Amino acid sequence: MPRRGFIANFLLAGSFAFSATLSAQTSSIEGNVAGTDGRPLRDAEVRFEQKARQISPIISRTDVNGHYTVVLPRRIYKMSLRVRGTSKAAITVKATGKNSRIDFDLRPSAEKSIRHYVWVGESTGSHLPGRWVEAGVRAARSPTP
């Protein structure tokens, strides 16, 4: 009887060690996808492709609430968001063995907040360093008498 208890404890401890090792080698990535109207986007495809293409792509679809979840082996992936067959976004992610959250917001208002800057070097004869100037914005000129 004690032998059975020992074997059962040994198998139970081994299963915990195996599950701990397995969870350290995988990453969980989840997030939400909002459409152009700001509402949760249903049935969008979130695709993970390994850079070296050693494994086939891992695909997850968003649910009614625009939520997706995927478990990945530790590697570097190209993550892309496709809506009705059209690619909407793509980034590179590294699955490190920890849980991560990546949300997508496709509202056009997020795009309007992007500003473009240009580096303007120092003027001739000036000891002042160059500066960043917002592109497309003209400096106001003082009126000439």
The yes-or-no verdict on residue 132 having pLDDT over 90 is no
CA-wise closest residue to 134 among 118, 113, 111? 118
Task: Tell me the three state secondary structure of residue 6.
Answer: helix
Domain that holds residue 102: 26-111
In a domain, 86, yes or no: yes
d(CA 133, CA 119): 6
In a domain, 50, yes or no: yes
What pLDDT band is residue 1 in, cutting at 50, 70 and 90? Answer: very low
In a domain, 2, yes or no: no
CA-wise closest residue to 74 among 115, 122, 29? 29
Instruction: Report how many domains make up the chain.
Output: 1
Of the listed ranges 68-72, 74-78, 122-126, 130-134, the least confidently predicted one is 122-126
Average pLDDT value over all residues in the chain: 77
Of the listed ranges 8-17, 32-41, 51-60, 68-77, the least confidently predicted one is 8-17
